[in-house]
Amino acid sequence: MTNIPSAPSFLRRLAAMLYDGFLLLAVWFIAISLGMVVIWLVTGDTEFTNNSLSFIFLELTTFFFYGWFWTHGGQTLGMRAWRMKVIKENGEIPGWSQALVRYLYAHLSWMLLGVGFLMVLFNKNRMALHDNLSHTYLQMIEKKT
């Protein structure tokens, strides 16, 4: 891949992740609340106690949160606020399969104690591990006047 002159800085990425993290917490709250209502209506049980199912439910909710934004314009709300978007190497917005690959590799970046994200600081193209592995990257968007 050639040099990406308009790639966002590590701090800009971090700010967008923080912004999206707050939004994701709200989405989780709504999803868990609705899930509990459905469980109560179906089983009469008022507890959402199966830890494995709870984890899978939240993981799917998180993927669909990011996947929907990435496949519909390439931007989460945090990315929009910080003027960046996800694109494929050919400049197109990723589809669902590539969004899944990016999402899974982003998990790998976190599982390596964040080192996958810190690569942005040392990579001339400002690419994180999951950018490289998923063949997608973040690009800055010009400020609208």
Q: What is the pLDDT of residues 30-49, one digit of tens each?
A: 998 888 888 788 887 766 66
Tell me the three state secondary structure of residue 137.
strand
pLDDT at 127 over 70: yes
Give the Å distances, CA to CA, from 67 to 32, 74, 86, 103.
Answer: 19, 9, 11, 8
Domain ranges of the chain: 10-140
Q: Identify the pLDDT of residue 46.
A: 66
The predicted pLDDT at position 50 comes to 67
Q: Does the pLDDT of residue 82 top 80, yes or no?
A: yes
Whole-number pLDDT of residue 48: 64
Per the DSSP assignment, residues forming a β-bridge with 25 are none
Q: Give the pLDDT score at 38.
A: 81
Mean pLDDT score of the chain: 91
